[in-house]
Chains A and B, each alone.
Chain A
Amino acid sequence: MNNQKNNNSIKLEEKIMSGIKSGRIKLRSKYVFLSKKLGLSGALSLSVILAIFFFNLILFYMKATDNLSYLAFGKNGFLAFLESFPYLLVVLFLLFLLFTGYLITKTNWSYKKPFKYIVMMSTMIILLVGSVLASTSFSQRIEQQAFANSGTGLFFKPFLKRGMGLRDSGLVGEIDEIGENYLIINTPSGKQYLDLSYLLSQQISLEFEKKEWIIAIGEREGDIFVIKEIRLIKNRECPMIRRGIYVYPKEKSMNHFFQPNEKVRKCLHGCIEINGFSQSCFEKCRPVK
């Protein structure tokens, strides 16, 4: 039996060595392994950087837009908060975080450490660096490039433009005109017409001045936004929306009516004086394309 075993051993050794000597079995080049290693390190670094970057953009978005401000209205503002939430950024951040975790498990040193520990440590590092980055002017530069349509920041416009978009249940802007039962405000998407009649029916006293900034929650009904709750906001709140109005070139308005010319404005004012602030005035005065 032992002889048989020895014979088998010799046979296997001879078989493999003859394959090596004949060149049938070849050593893989060290450059193959080197490039694999570099590829893994590169992908890991890129994934970490992108996870940090997207986390930084999430923080920046929340700080610079109206998203978090809606929570000041309590549960009534939650819908507007959800509507303005940066889902795309969050999804991409989570994807890169998971991808980072996956790539770490492929490295040679990771298996010596518990997986939970690695995930916890890498998440903490990404969150920490992302938070530090959010306190610098880095994100603002990205935003400026994105909305000024210049530089590499332009690629990130799809992720940030939600911050300045029109919403159905919330609104932020600068007061442009004050009527008896309505307000006209400037927003990055053009002028918005706000119906105050619900608030007035609740006998809530309202005092506004032109150029003041307001945040409101309510419902959009056609071209009018019916306000349910409104409050003034401080100068430092929603800086991205402020820049959207004053700094960046105007996008083509989603609804041409929100950039009325003099003729439209006159028609609208006349109609509101006679019929009150209603959707029918907007229908009547809407310019024909």
Chain B
Amino acid sequence: MNLLELSDEQIIEVVRIENKGLYSEIIKRYQNKLSHYLRKFVYNPDELEDVLQVVFVKTYKNLFSFNTNKKFSSWIYKIAHNEAINHIKKNSTNHQISLDKVEYQIIDKSVNIDDDFDKNLLKEQIENSLSLLKLKYQEPLILFYLEQKSYEEISDILRIPKNTVGTLISRGKKILKKNLIINKLYEQSKE
């Protein structure tokens, strides 16, 4: 059996019925992806590892509740999303999003604020503005731009209608852009 040829859903079928050891393949496939996603909500690396562990344990325990006709990735992201929200609720202090270079470029391109803006400053501003966005806008923006999820997948992960996903992304983008422009004007007035 070539593991690479098996889909996530097929692996889950096998884990459930005969070979629990195969769950390690699921961990391998999703560890980096989920870690990348959760990092937007859980800044502390130790806490991130704890949350990630909880996600994989919960996923395993609840494997029989997963419908193999659906997409496994959306399901595990949904669990990760719920854990991230739980973590934010428990640690009510504001979390600060940190973007890597590629992520920053994606957001910069999609928001398209201004070419002559100080790029280093802009990265910081985008991180701040994204962190200050309401969670309901933040989540779909992160999933769409940074996790490259489709509207359908975001709808499955966040359990909201597909049309609402589009609306939240578009509104979130507008608010983000507005905040960045206000910040820019404020910085200019200081100079």
Contact = CB atoms under 8 A, between A and B. Distances in A.
Interface of A: 8-9, 12-13, 15-17, 19-21, 25-30, 32-33, 108, 111-114
Interface in B147-164: 155, 159-164
Given A17-B23, A21-B21, A33-B62, 18 more contacts: A9-B32, A12-B27, A12-B31, A12-B52, A13-B27, A16-B24, A16-B56, A17-B21, A20-B20, A20-B21, A21-B20, A25-B57, A27-B20, A27-B63, A27-B64, A108-B67, A112-B162, A113-B161
A12 B24 CA distance: 10
13 contacts: A9-B32, A12-B27, A12-B56, A13-B27, A25-B57, A26-B61, A27-B16, A27-B64, A28-B61, A28-B64, A28-B65, A111-B161, A112-B161
A20 B64 contact: no
A30 B16 CA distance: 10
Interface of B: 16, 20-21, 23-24, 27-28, 31-32, 49, 52-53, 56-57, 60-65, 67, 155, 159-164
A8 B60 contact: no
A28 B62 contact: yes
Contacts of B27: 12-13, 16-17
Nearest to B161: A114
A33 B63 CA distance: 10
- List 6 tightest A-B contacts by C-beta distance, closest first: A111-B159, A30-B64, A33-B65, A13-B27, A17-B24, A114-B161
A275 B54 CA distance: 89
A16 B61 contact: no
A253 B53 CA distance: 70
Contacts of B23: 16-17, 20
B81 to A, nearest CB: 13
Contacts of B56: 12, 16
B23 to A, nearest CB: 6
A15 B57 CA distance: 10
Contact of B31 (A9, A17, A20, A21): A9
Q: Main secondary structure on chain B at its contact with chain A?
A: helix
Nearest to B160: A111
A147 to B, nearest CB: 48
A13 B49 contact: no
A102 B60 CA distance: 28
A8 B39 CA distance: 15
A32 B56 CA distance: 20
A19 B61 CA distance: 11
A138 to B, nearest CB: 37
A30 B163 CA distance: 33
A23 to B, nearest CB: 10
B163 A27 contact: no
A13 B28 contact: yes
Contacts of B62: 28, 33
Contacts of B31: 9, 12-13
Nearest to A11: B49
Contacts of A8: 49
Contact of B61 (A27, A112, A113): A27
A114 B163 contact: yes
A32 B65 CA distance: 9
A282 to B, nearest CB: 67
A145 B50 CA distance: 61
A46 to B, nearest CB: 23
B35 to A, nearest CB: 8
A13 B16 CA distance: 18
A111 B165 CA distance: 12
A19 B24 CA distance: 12
A253 B62 CA distance: 61
A138 B23 CA distance: 56
B20 A16 contact: no
A12 B32 CA distance: 11
Contacts of A114: 161, 163-164
B12 to A, nearest CB: 11
Given A12-B27, A17-B27, A27 B60 contact: yes
B53 A111 contact: no
